[in-house]
Amino acid sequence: MNFMSTFLTFENLHEVRRLCHWGPIIALSVIAICSTMAILDSVIWYWPLDTTGGNINFIMLINWTILILYNYFNAMFIGPGCIPLGWKPLHTNYDKFLNLAQENQQDMQYLQYCRVCQGYKAPRSHHCRKCNRCVMKMDHHCPWINNCCGHLNHAYFTSFLLLAPLGCSHAAIIFIMTMYTQLYERISFGWSTVKIDMSPVHQFQPIMPFSVPAFAATLFALGLALGTTISVGMLFVIQMKVILRNKTSIESWIEEKAKDRIQHYQTGEEFIFPYDLGTRWMNFKQVFTWSGMPKGDGKEWPVHPKCHQHTLTIEQLKQKVDKRVRSVQYQAVEDYNGACCPLSKGLQTFFRTPCTEEPRIPLSKGDIILATRGTKWWMYGDKVLSEAQMRVGERVRGWFPRRCVEKCHYDTAATESTSEKKVN
């Protein structure tokens, strides 16, 4: 009874709802299928009670499953950590202790304000539309864990990306060896055909029968294991590249845009990424620790000697102004219901829909949109809202078909804030 009471009052019990999403359902199904089939095939191929090798093989297989699930659920349920609602920067010197917690007005001018969270975005944090919160050191929102990858769970997520390919590679070897050993005596080669006899072999009786359904299930599991090894292994390589530079995927994109902005306006600036500590080992230790929890509180970070806490946030503010200057104003000439693949807008629009989880925005004739990027058939931008909608923090942005809009003859977005093209 005490155990049930403890379980029911567990503060993160509501997080179990994250399992009710297509991402975790597919991921856990793949893990369950590969693990179950690997265990069953191990019994057929390398009976663990007969030899030391079989025993080690079986224990390693169980350990892979436990470690994969441990890191997967930690990445999902611990989460990245969120900036408190209504957060404001405080003084970090002794004034904080002498005069209680005072707002640091100087730092506020270097930070972006989040209207949804009604607070400032700490350095390296970003607002996630899926989670509807500002996330500490946000890397990306991962549908496979139905959560963001960020400050607190970056190590767990990356460990999962490493362990999943290793475990699937082990499982793939078991699948291949099981099929080979079971079919070796049942294959007869002719001059023009290869005949596979799946009837039981008289001279060898396995611990468990290896029938046609078992062969089909093993072949299916082999495909899942190989596909997971390749796809997840590539994600692990990508994650390690950004971790060894002490970046996130978003910050890599910000750095690229900084170089593009400096080159476009010929400002002569030198942008130094502030969080690269100089060596890969130092960067690695910022994420991976013996305790499993990363260093830092998610709001202040060690920085490069030539930089300070707000080097990146100042660059983000510059890019925000630049984005406003470069945006092009369009007006909707056709209604669009926000469908992901609208067949009524043409076959090219239907088949060339952006392969992204970013939202689509419905349009009505007369709507004004500030487009910032696009493809031949789709565009991405912000819908111009009323003053009342903007005051409550509402923002509507996403993809829409290019054929539904036309460029305004007088583009107010291009002429607005022209004096802010170069922000010092």
CA dihedral (43, 49, 54, 60) in degrees, to 10, reads 80
Alpha carbon distances (Å) from 313 to 64, 82, 141, 150, 269: 41, 18, 21, 17, 16
What is the C-alpha separation between 333 and 12, in angstroms, rounded?
A: 47
3-class SS of residue 204: coil
Question: Could you tell me which of 371, 363, 361 has the C-alpha nearest to residue 414?
Answer: 371
**Left, alpha or beta for 146 (phi > 0: left; psi -120 to 50: alpha)?**
left
What is the C-alpha separation between 377 and 225, in angstroms, rounded?
A: 36
Produce one character per residue of 30-54: b if its CB has 16 or more CB atoms within 10 Å, e if not.
bbebbbebbbbbbbbbbebeeeeeb
- For 26, residues 6+ apart whose C-beta sits below 8 A from its C-beta are 144
Tokens of 354: 């952006």
- Number of Cβ within a 10 Å radius of residue 220: 14
The residues carrying an active-site annotation are: 142
Question: Could you tell me which of 154, 176, 16, 191 has the C-alpha nearest to residue 80?
Answer: 154
Produce one character per residue of 259-284: b if its CB has 16 or more CB atoms within 10 Å, e if not.
eebbeeeeeeeebebbbbbeeeeebe
What is the C-alpha separation between 16 and 29, in angstroms, rounded?
A: 17
Tokens of 329: 């104003």
Q: Could you tell me the maximum CA-CA distance found in the chain, to the nearest angstrom?
A: 92
- For 380, residues 6+ apart whose C-beta sits below 8 A from its C-beta are 354, 358, 371, 372, 373, 374, 397, 398, 399, 400
| Residue 168 near residue 225, CB atoms below 8 Å | yes
3-class SS of residue 73: helix
